[in-house]
Amino acid sequence: MEAFLAARVLTKDDDWADSIGRAVSMQAAADDVVRAVVQEARQNGATWQVIGDALGVSRQAAFQRYGKPIDPRTGEPMNTTPLSGVAELAASTIEDLASGQWTRVTEQFDPTMRDALSEDALAAAWAQIVGLSGAFEGLGEPEVTRAGDVTITNTPLSFEAGDYTARIAFRDDRTIAGLHILEGQMS
């Protein structure tokens, strides 16, 4: 089956860039077909559980990818586009935490976060994690989602003797609305 599909995009003159470009176009078209079928399924009463099972993902993952949430405050469709450049912003924040740049982190806090978490409390929380799991070793690729008025990043963190997830919520003005270090890595 895969050879048959590949034959539809491969050229005889070994123009790999052209073949890859055609394959990407086919992938985008297939994604459009899936999106249309999911929308049709929803309009005809299919639950997110049924759709998720068919896609091989959770109902929440299916909704996050294909759903169109309505803002309960306004009745209008919600913005589901994540903040651009947020993965890099999360990585920079985590690097600041790991290097003890507490001021640089707290300067990014929105007013509510600033009132709730001081530099000293932030430093103490990071020290507690280091005390439990050793030195920070690195970070993985963040998962990015939009939820209401914020973009949320879940970034895997590795320490000498433990794994964590840094969950950071960013407002559209790039301020931090939430910062949590969760034990274990999100799946």
Query: Residue 104 belongs to what H/E stretch?
Result: helix 102-106
Query: Are 112 and 150 contained in the same domain?
Result: yes
Residue 79 maps to a domain: no
Average pLDDT over residues 160-165: 96
Adjacent-strand bridge partners of 143: 154
In a domain, 74, yes or no: no
Q: Is residue 81 part of a domain?
A: no
Parent domain of 143: 86-183
Does any domain span residue 75? no
Give this prediction's pTM. Answer: 0.72
* Over residues 120-124, mean pLDDT: 97
Task: Please tell me the predicted confidence (pLDDT) of residue 51.
Answer: 94
pLDDT tens-digit profile of 28-40? 888 888 889 998 9
- If asked whether residues 55 and 111 sit together in one domain, one would say no
Q: How far apart are CA 171 and CA 144, in angstroms?
A: 13
- Number of structural domains the chain divides into: 2
| Long-range Cβ pairs for the range 149-158 (8 Å, 24+) | 150/177, 150/178, 151/82, 151/83, 151/86, 152/178, 153/86, 153/87, 153/89, 153/90, 154/186, 155/90, 155/91, 155/94, 156/185, 156/186, 157/94, 157/181, 157/185
Last residue of a domain, one of 31, 66, 101: 66
* 59 and 93 share one domain: no
- Give the CATH number of the domain where residue 120 resides: 3.10.450.590
Residues 114 and 175 in one domain: yes
pLDDT tens, residue by residue, 14-63? 677 877 887 888 888 888 888 899 989 999 999 999 999 999 999 988 88
Q: What is the reported pLDDT for 127? A: 97
Supply the DSSP symbol for 73: T
Q: Is the pLDDT of residue 112 over 70?
A: yes
Give the bridge partners for 155, in sequence order: 166
